[in-house]
Chain A
Amino acid sequence: MNAVPVPCFHCGEPVLAKSSERAFCCGGCEAATAWIEGAGLAGYYRTRTAPAMVPVPAAAAVFAQWDEPAFTGQHCRERDGRRETTLVVEGVRCAACAWLIERALAAEPGVASACVNAATSRLALAWDPAATPLSRLVALLARLGYRVHCPARDDARAAAGERRASLKRLAVAGLGAMQAMMLSEALYFGAGELDLATRDFFRWITFLVATPVVFYAGWPFLAGAWRQLRLRAPGMDLLVAVSVLLAWAASVVETLRGGEAVYYDAAVMFIFFLLAARHVESEARRRATAALDVLARAQPELALRLDAAGREDMVAVTALAPGDRLRVRAGSAVPVDGVLLGAPAELDESFITGESRAVARAPGELLLAGSIALGSPLELRASRAARESTVARLAELAARAQAERPGAARLADRVAGVFVVAMLLVAALVGLAWWFAEPARALPVTLAVLAATCPCALALAVPAAIAAAQAAFARQGALVLDPDAIESLARADTIVFDKTGTLTSGRPQLAAMESFGAPRDEALAAAAALERGMHHPLAAVFRPFDDGRAADGVRILAGQGIEGRVGGRFLRIGTRAFATGGARDDEGIWLGDGAQALARFDCRDAARPGAAEALAALGDAGLALEVLSGDSPARVAAIAGQLGVRDWRARCLPAEKLARVRALRAAGHRVAMVGDGVNDAAVLAGADVAIALAEGAAIAQASASVVLAGADIGRLPALIATARRARRVMRQNLAWAVAYNGLALPAAALGFVAPWLAALGMAASSLVVTLNALRLARPPARGAAARTRASGRLAGAPA
């Protein structure tokens, strides 16, 4: 076969094809492209910046739940004969996706408006249910590769309002700070030449500009300080509020009585800097949580309950009770834990156990919620309510482990509290001392002390570095959910990896094949024809070899394989005994006619592209590597050997993984954990710093502090390098701020520093730490990263 690997035109997955102009990895992608071009929307391919998702074929019945009253009653609003809802769309990877979805939906009859926000992946839809059922629209999106979920909570409006308010505060503070600075410069540098009337005029104007900044833009700090006062827990907000209010009030007093100096500029600059840092941080958080919400709800919000007569009834999962009989359609997820009834069935449990192969279950065995029915529909009897299912209990375990993580943030708050009180006491003491020594100079000196010790630089030193590092992380494709994670990541000395889905893609690939008599192409094409339309993870292995030949009378035999007629010949694919009548079973997949073998396929879950280089780089950076997996020892050993990891443990249950990480921490190691699955949630929460993959389960991400976009673990070495640089910058900043405050405080207390000079020094000091932090946001030398990326891509192409 003289084929070369080329990217699929639609989704970018590598496929083997003759080097023609366009190749498609599967029928789904081809159909999606045909539809998009047929609708005149081919511009999508020119403007998109990320490849599309692979469309997943699904039966029309799967979408019927979107029209059920159980869904519409809960999630839709009726207005003017139209129905409106907000949905979360999975697979919106760039702005072109948003455009494509809007156009595709708008072309459907009955759709009044369709509006997609690419940043939050929300689709606001208004349509006429009489003209088009929602299920048809959802099916259309599925055909294009977008999966639709109900949002976990409909707070999009509130979040948008909060963001708008924060932007407006920032704008007022920014404009106000510029004006106040400009006028203050005139006051500082023209001090000798300005006549009194002009000086007072300038001061009143500055008052006009600064007052809205203090009370409108600075409102979050004032409100926070009031809260902290009421709770008797002094923190940064209190310090900020006291400094700002004192500077403002003292300036008003000085303006009224025509005093020595005013400090409006100090107050507004302080507010502006802090607001900017907070805005950057909340923006990063908003993007992260929007990405999380996309995955927050797996599709079966609804379940098919069977009544005594065997009729199907669509109900919400929360309404299920133990003892209910349920039906799960092929390709759907099991809604609650339950006991299998009727025929044996095959399930994909990788979501829970991390085991990469399909598992055969006999009647009477327990099925876990979240596992996916493969091949044929199945029936089960619910044994637990939804919130007591295995998945829910894992979430609880994760939440508990997370609560035990020591919060550096809480420590910082306590330190800040002590600092605030100390600072106010010092200012009061100095004021008192001067009052007795020289009453006329008491106020200016107290203000100078407050301005000099106003810990602007100290307060900004760490947040500015963290905000800049978060921006640097975001550019490298990682979202930081917990700002403490940057510090922890810089200090980590051990990295623990999950295997399935993290080091490997979780999708098996064809590693080797032997053919017995039949030509290789023929055998592959026949296997592809038999596996066509199957949901089994192994079916995807053969999809690239599908040449469209027909297969009739295809039948699935659970736990054994598939049989059918291809090109008039009866063929079976599956276990050795089933396909060839051979005695001993092995791990391979056999193609035969029931008596004689035609071919044997060896499918393996291969390491992710770039994983080997990334792990080697991490080892070079002085980190110890370890693999913990729920999979079998043979498969874990194979991957660990391939990637050069010596320490690995197989068949680990979630609790065992957590115990291992705890043991490592108890031995004094600082552990970073990288995982993706539901089974990793607990261990992620138990590590010093947890990194989850954006492709993985939502609950894993909820307990992680860093989420890696896509699944590119090749970025890890660069991220760790960034974290270490950020830590260095934080230390430099802190050292500078402490040194400055330490020098300025005695000087100001002894009356050597005029208040305006102290304020200027404070602003300059803040500027120094901010600029130092901004060095982080600049990309480092690029050569190394680019090389890793390029070689990773080459390694990713199938042989």
Chain B
Amino acid sequence: MTMLLMLIPVTLLLVGVAVWAFFWAADGGQFDDLDSPALAPLLDDCDPAGRPRP
């Protein structure tokens, strides 16, 4: 049972970190547009021939 005395505060700490990370992401606009950024890696910087864009 003494293990709990350590593990539970660790859990709380992790939850705190998760909340802080989520707040940081939300305030940074990460959730403002959930549609277009998903395409970015598919489209970036080259045309169908694979030629880099000027």
Interface positions of A (Cβ within 8 A of B): 37, 40-44, 46-47, 94-96, 98-99, 116-120, 160, 163-164, 167-168, 171-172, 175-176, 179, 198, 201, 205, 208-209
Other CB < 8 Å A-B pairs besides A44-B43, A47-B42, A164-B26, 16 of them?
A40-B47, A40-B51, A41-B47, A42-B47, A43-B43, A98-B39, A119-B33, A160-B29, A160-B32, A163-B31, A164-B31, A168-B22, A171-B19, A171-B26, A175-B18, A179-B12
Report the Cα distance A452→B38, complex, angstroms: 45
Listed from nearest, the 8 A-B pairs whose CB atoms lie closest are A95-B36, A40-B47, A98-B36, A118-B36, A118-B35, A171-B22, A95-B35, A95-B39
Shortest distance between the CB of A144 and any CB in chain B (Å)? 16
B31 A96 Cβ-Cβ under 8 A: no
Residue of A nearest to B23 (CB): A168
Residue of B nearest to A175 (CB): B15
Shortest distance between the CB of B16 and any CB in chain A (Å)? 9
Residue of A nearest to B22 (CB): A171
Using A163-B32, A198-B1, A198-B4 as known contacts, say yes or no to A43 and B42 having CB atoms under 8 A apart: yes
Report the Cα distance A118→B18, complex, angstroms: 28
Shortest distance between the CB of A739 and any CB in chain B (Å)? 37
B47 A209 Cβ-Cβ under 8 A: no
A179 B39 Cβ-Cβ under 8 A: no
Shortest distance between the CB of B39 and any CB in chain A (Å)? 5
Among the interface residues B31, B35, B40, which one has the most CB atoms of the partner chain A within 10 A? Answer: B35
Residue of A nearest to B21 (CB): A171
Note all chain A residues with C-beta closer than 8 A to B31.
163-164, 167
Report the Cα distance A119→B42, complex, angstroms: 19
Of B5, B19, B22, B54, the contact of A201 (CB 8 Å cutoff)? B5
Residue of B nearest to A179 (CB): B15
Report the Cα distance A41→B39, complex, angstroms: 13
Residue of B nearest to A41 (CB): B47
- Chain B residues 3 to 49 lying within 8 A of chain A, measured CB to CB, are 4-5, 8, 11-12, 15, 18-19, 22-23, 26-27, 29, 31-36, 38-40, 42-43, 46-48
Note all chain A residues with C-beta closer than 8 A to B47.
37, 40-43
List 29 A–B pairs whose Cβ atoms lie within 8 Å, in order of A's numbering. Answer: A37-B47, A40-B47, A40-B51, A41-B47, A42-B47, A43-B42, A46-B48, A95-B39, A98-B36, A99-B36, A99-B40, A116-B36, A117-B32, A119-B33, A163-B31, A164-B32, A167-B31, A168-B26, A171-B23, A172-B19, A175-B15, A175-B18, A179-B11, A179-B12, A201-B5, A201-B8, A205-B8, A209-B12, A209-B15
Among the interface residues B12, B27, B47, which one has the most CB atoms of the partner chain A within 10 A? Answer: B47
Using A40-B51, A42-B48, A164-B31 as known contacts, say yes or no to A117 and B12 having CB atoms under 8 A apart: no
B35 A175 Cβ-Cβ under 8 A: no
B39 A119 Cβ-Cβ under 8 A: no
Using A40-B47, A96-B39 as known contacts, say yes or no to A117 and B15 having CB atoms under 8 A apart: no
Report the Cα distance A757→B13, complex, angstroms: 30
Using A42-B47, A168-B23, A208-B12 as known contacts, say yes or no to A117 and B33 having CB atoms under 8 A apart: yes
Of B4, B8, B27, B40, the contact of A164 (CB 8 Å cutoff)? B27
Shortest distance between the CB of B20 and any CB in chain A (Å)? 11
Interface positions of B (Cβ within 8 A of A): 1, 4-5, 8, 11-12, 15, 18-19, 22-23, 26-27, 29, 31-36, 38-40, 42-43, 46-48, 51, 53-54
Using A40-B53, A42-B47, A42-B48 as known contacts, say yes or no to A47 and B39 having CB atoms under 8 A apart: yes
Note all chain A residues with C-beta closer than 8 A to B46.
40, 43
Report the Cα distance A40→B40, complex, angstroms: 15
Of A43, A96, A118, A163, the contact of B48 (CB 8 Å cutoff)? A43
Report the Cα distance A168→B22, complex, angstroms: 7
Report the Cα distance A357→B1, complex, angstroms: 83
Residue of A nearest to B48 (CB): A42
Report the Cα distance A95→B39, complex, angstroms: 7
Report the Cα distance A120→B33, complex, angstroms: 8
Residue of B nearest to A186 (CB): B4
Shortest distance between the CB of B21 and any CB in chain A (Å)? 10
Report the Cα distance A172→B18, complex, angstroms: 9
Report the Cα distance A205→B4, complex, angstroms: 11
Shortest distance between the CB of A84 and any CB in chain B (Å)? 17
Report the Cα distance A176→B15, complex, angstroms: 8
Shortest distance between the CB of A306 and any CB in chain B (Å)? 44
Of B8, B29, B34, the contact of A119 (CB 8 Å cutoff)? B34
A95 B38 Cβ-Cβ under 8 A: yes
Among the interface residues B15, B18, B54, which one has the most CB atoms of the partner chain A within 10 A? Answer: B15
Note all chain B residues with C-beta closer than 8 A to A37.
47
Shortest distance between the CB of B44 and any CB in chain A (Å)? 9
Note all chain A residues with C-beta closer than 8 A to B11.
179
Shortest distance between the CB of B54 and any CB in chain A (Å)? 7
Report the Cα distance A116→B18, complex, angstroms: 29
Report the Cα distance A477→B35, complex, angstroms: 16
Shortest distance between the CB of A384 and any CB in chain B (Å)? 41
Report the Cα distance A118→B43, complex, angstroms: 15
Shortest distance between the CB of A154 and any CB in chain B (Å)? 16
Residue of B nearest to A44 (CB): B43
Note all chain B residues with C-beta closer than 8 A to A46.
42, 48
Report the Cα distance A697→B15, complex, angstroms: 48
Residue of A nearest to B39 (CB): A95
Report the Cα distance A208→B16, complex, angstroms: 11
Shortest distance between the CB of B28 and any CB in chain A (Å)? 9
B42 A117 Cβ-Cβ under 8 A: no
Among the interface residues A43, A47, A163, A205, which one has the most CB atoms of the partner chain B within 10 A? Answer: A43
Report the Cα distance A118→B11, complex, angstroms: 38
Note all chain B residues with C-beta closer than 8 A to A99.
36, 39-40, 43
A118 B12 Cβ-Cβ under 8 A: no
Residue of B nearest to A159 (CB): B32
Report the Cα distance A95→B23, complex, angstroms: 25
Shortest distance between the CB of A452 and any CB in chain B (Å)? 30
Shortest distance between the CB of A181 and any CB in chain B (Å)? 13
Note all chain A residues with C-beta closer than 8 A to B1.
198
Report the Cα distance A201→B8, complex, angstroms: 10
Note all chain A residues with C-beta closer than 8 A to B23.
168, 171
Residue of A nearest to B4 (CB): A198
Report the Cα distance A728→B43, complex, angstroms: 45
B19 A96 Cβ-Cβ under 8 A: no
B5 A175 Cβ-Cβ under 8 A: no
Note all chain B residues with C-beta closer than 8 A to A198.
1, 4
Shortest distance between the CB of B34 and any CB in chain A (Å)? 7
Residue of B nearest to A216 (CB): B19
Note all chain A residues with C-beta closer than 8 A to B4.
198, 201
Note all chain A residues with C-beta closer than 8 A to B18.
175
Of A47, A119, A209, the contact of B43 (CB 8 Å cutoff)? A47
Using A42-B47, A43-B47, A167-B26 as known contacts, say yes or no to A119 and B19 having CB atoms under 8 A apart: no
Note all chain A residues with C-beta closer than 8 A to B38.
95
Report the Cα distance A662→B18, complex, angstroms: 55
Shortest distance between the CB of B30 and any CB in chain A (Å)? 9
Shortest distance between the CB of A799 and any CB in chain B (Å)? 35
Residue of A nearest to B38 (CB): A95
Shortest distance between the CB of A210 and any CB in chain B (Å)? 12
Report the Cα distance A43→B4, complex, angstroms: 55
Shortest distance between the CB of B14 and any CB in chain A (Å)? 10
Note all chain B residues with C-beta closer than 8 A to A42.
47-48
Among the interface residues B1, B39, B42, B54, which one has the most CB atoms of the partner chain A within 10 A? Answer: B39
Report the Cα distance A192→B38, complex, angstroms: 51
